[in-house]
Amino acid sequence: MISANVMVPSDSTAAGDFDRHSRDVYGWAYRILGHHHDALDVVQDVFLKWTKQCSRSHPREARGWLRRVTINRAIDLQRAKRVKTVDEGGLEDSANHTARDESALTETDAGALRTDIVSALDRLTEIQRSVLVAKIYDEWTFAGIADELGLSVSTVKTHYLRGVRAVRDRLRPRWSLEYAT
Amino acid sequence: MNCQRFESMLADALGDELSPDDRSLFDGHLASCDGCHREYDADRQTIDALKKLPGPEAVTMERVGPRVFLSPLSETPRPGFTTTARRSAFRFAAAILISFTTGYALHAGLMMDRAVEDPTPVISAVVASAETHDTDTLASALALVHQRNPARSDLAKCMIAMFDGSKN
């Protein structure tokens, strides 16, 4: 039985906001970490930050705040757990991976891909990370993301494209992605 | 359409938000420009790779006072007895009852008590009701056993009481 026993703040508004988004918090953390218990640890950490934040001022957009903090915390945790370090821009081994063919990914490859993706996300700005996660995993529209983050639609699109390109450049050395030479 | 215009549509294309008209223009340029095609393909593969990070299975959230419990849907227990647990309990009780009834019938036969009627129909009714999970027939069979031999059917009384309780 995998469950989280998370203390919820007594303030009803803050508690209600956390209730509404707790599954999403868990989902975002799980995407980054790929492990239930680690994701639950992040849920707990994010809750603590949420209570501290709400004791000062309630964020205008709870979901956007929670997404940003959850991703940051999950990446921090993943970074701390990483055993192997990868040289900056270098090849860890001579194996050539193809990210396109999902069926070809062994469990080792899947783990390596996750590590590289999280490493790539770590190098993005917070806004780029939030936009990418909201667009790719939450499947929000650009207009919806713009509204949540208080940005223009064109700015969101720019962050999205730059984020994708940054991740692409990070994955390129180890994963066969076609790119313009 | 030129490459500059293509670039301005790239975010919408990668975000699956191109209008149908723009989509046909976009695809037309893709087919004719190798450079833009390679860029788009690499970006698309990157997004596909990002999507490979699997999400969790659906979880349920239950709040009990100040505590929130998150559990995967597949592991969420249903409140009270499940149908499987209920059937297992019924079969166990039926097995005990069949054993008792058979033993009772044999005992009655050995005692040569002419007041005891042939218990075979009762045993058949008990076995049939166990197979079909028919609690009413089972309760009736028990009552019949008790009625015919009240002095020797204390266990039957207990079984009747137990099934009456479970039906409620």
Interface of B with A in 26-55 (CB under 8 A): 35, 38-39, 41-43, 45-55
Using a CB-CB cut-off of 8 Å, the residues of chain A touching B35 are 180
Least-confidence region, from A57-61, A90-94, A165-169, B90-94: A90-94
Residues 6+ apart with CB under 8 A from B69: A3, A4, A5, B61, B62, B63
Tokens linked to A46 = 């994010």
Residues 6+ apart with CB under 8 A from A72: A126, A129
Per DSSP, A104 falls in state G
Tokens linked to A11 = 């303030």
Is B64 touching A (CB cutoff 8 A)?
Answer: no
Total Cβ atoms within 10 A of residue A156: 27
Tokens linked to B29 = 């340029």
Shortest distance between the Cα of A127 and any Cα of chain B, in A, equals: 16
Secondary structure class of A107 (helix, strand, coil): helix
Tens of pLDDT, residue by residue over B106-155, are 766 655 554 545 555 655 666 565 556 566 666 676 677 666 666 555 66
Q: What is the CA radius of gyration of chain A?
A: 18
Nearest to B97 by CA among B118, B126, B117, B121: B126
d(C-alpha A68, C-alpha B104), whole Å:
73
Tokens linked to B4 = 């500059």
pTM to 2 decimals? 0.61
Mutate to test the interface with A, among B45, B60, B67, B74 (most CBs of A within 10 A): B45
d(C-alpha B103, C-alpha B122), whole Å:
13
d(C-alpha A113, C-alpha B135), whole Å:
58
> Scanning every residue of chain A, which has its alpha carbon at the shortest distance from the alpha carbon of B17?
A141
Indicate the pLDDT class of residue B56, thresholds 50, 70 and 90: confident
The confidence score (pLDDT) of residue A139 equals 92
Tokens linked to A152 = 């223009």
Is B110 touching A (CB cutoff 8 A)?
Answer: no
Shortest distance between the Cα of A104 and any Cα of chain B, in A, equals: 13
Per DSSP, A98 falls in state -
Total Cβ atoms within 10 A of residue B135: 17
d(C-alpha A142, C-alpha A135), whole Å:
7
Among A3, A164, A179, beta carbon nearest to B70: A3
Tens of pLDDT, residue by residue over A46-92, are 988 888 898 888 888 889 999 999 999 999 988 887 754 454 444 34
